[in-house]
Chain A
Amino acid sequence: MAAVVFFPLAALLVILALTVVLHPDPVKSALALVGTLFLLAVFFVFLSAEVVAALQVIVYAGAIMVLFLFVIMLLNPGAERSERRGPVAGTVVGGLALVLAWQTGWLAAGGKIGAEGLRPERGYGGVFALARSLFTDFLLPFELTSVLLLVAIVGAVVLAKRRLS
């Protein structure tokens, strides 16, 4: 049942991800990235991680990508000129892709990956389970995040200050 939805979306995800890399127009590239991030959230739902899925959309697709688009529009770079890259770069990238595909296939064939028989316990990926571990076991990283965000805010103001004053 789930496979009927999974495989078409997986194919779409791969196409969108390739569009991000290959499309010459940066706005469309960024838009394809929004689509990729959204579909990744759908796959988080398949993995029973619904809170992570929602947060993925809110933070990545809904906030960070807006900034990306703003920056692209701010700079207005225009379409990228397709420049021929040397045969070395093509060989290296193609080779790496082949190695990755072979490895994944090998692992899948050997039964090393796949979630057959794995059933998440009740409430796994839900908001209560996530909150309990975040606010007890991962308290320090959580608090440090606030400092990180503060640094980002201050950094942005300092960088833009010359324009503002």
Chain B
Amino acid sequence: MLAEYIPVLVTFLVAGLVGLVMVLGSRLFGTRARGRIKMRPFECGNPPSGPARQRFPVKFYLVAIFFIAFDLEIVFMYPWAVIFRELGIFGLIEMFLFIAVLTLGLVYVWRKGALEWES
């Protein structure tokens, strides 16, 4: 089985090489002209108005949490999708129960307005 992963390793090496060339390309071949004002972060021509790394809305954090929960749900569905034919009705019921509980979560999130971005 490990032999099947040799091409994967080779692909990683090739892709890594391509990535390395892309990252170092301009450093090796590029021109260089420094200036004090030029090195400032770009804010459409204005002087930077304070530190860039500011706190951002908690909604993004919520999206990440919901993503983990539903991603885990989907992860369980891959092995099930492969063998659900041989599990038959029994497999159907167990997965539908699982999906139902998490759909409850989706409905709750929706009703609570956690998916709204306008507010």
A residues within 8 Å of B by Cβ? 2, 5, 45-46, 48, 50-51, 55, 58-59, 62-64, 66-67, 70-71, 73-76, 125, 127-128, 130-132, 134-135, 139, 142-143, 145-147, 149-150, 152-154, 156-157, 160-161, 163-165
Q: Which residues of A contact B58 (CB under 8 A)?
A: 74, 160, 163-164
Q: Which residues of A contact B91 (CB under 8 A)?
A: 135
Distance to closest chain B CB from A94 (angstroms): 35
Q: Which residues of A contact B75 (CB under 8 A)?
A: 55, 58-59
Choose, from B19-27, B28-36, B39-47, B95-103, the stretch at the interface: B95-103
Q: Which residues of A contact B83 (CB under 8 A)?
A: 128, 131-132, 135
Number of interface residues of B (CB under 8 A): 45
Q: Which residues of B contact A73 (CB under 8 A)?
A: 53, 56
Interface residues of B: mostly helix, strand, loop or mixed? helix
Rounded to whole angstroms, the CA-CA distance of A2 and B2 in the bound complex is: 8
How many A-B contacts are there with CB distance less than 8 Å?
A: 127
Chain A residue at minimal CB-CB distance from B56: A74
Q: Which residues of B contact A157 (CB under 8 A)?
A: 62, 108-109, 112, 114
Contact of A67 with B65 in the complex, beta carbons under 8 Å: yes
Give the 4 A-B residue pairs with the shortest CB-CB distance, closest first.
A131-B79, A146-B101, A153-B105, A156-B65
Pick the residue among A48, A62, A128, A150 that contacts B104 (CB under 8 A). A150
Rounded to whole angstroms, the CA-CA distance of A132 and B83 in the bound complex is: 8
Pick the residue among B5, B64, B76 that contacts A66 (CB under 8 A). B64
Q: Which residues of B contact A48 (CB under 8 A)?
A: 1-2
Q: Which residues of B contact A67 (CB under 8 A)?
A: 61, 64-65, 67-68
Q: Which residues of A contact B94 (CB under 8 A)?
A: 135, 139, 142-143
Contact of B79 with A134 in the complex, beta carbons under 8 Å: yes
Contact of B61 with A71 in the complex, beta carbons under 8 Å: yes
Q: Which residues of A contact B38 (CB under 8 A)?
A: none
Contact of A152 with B55 in the complex, beta carbons under 8 Å: no
Contact of A50 with B1 in the complex, beta carbons under 8 Å: yes
Distance to closest chain A CB from B67 (angstroms): 6
Distance to closest chain A CB from B6 (angstroms): 9
Residues 50-81 (chain B) with a chain A CB within 8 angstroms: 53-62, 64-69, 71-73, 75-76, 78-80
Interface residue? B17 (CB, 8 A): no
Q: Which residues of B contact A130 (CB under 8 A)?
A: 79
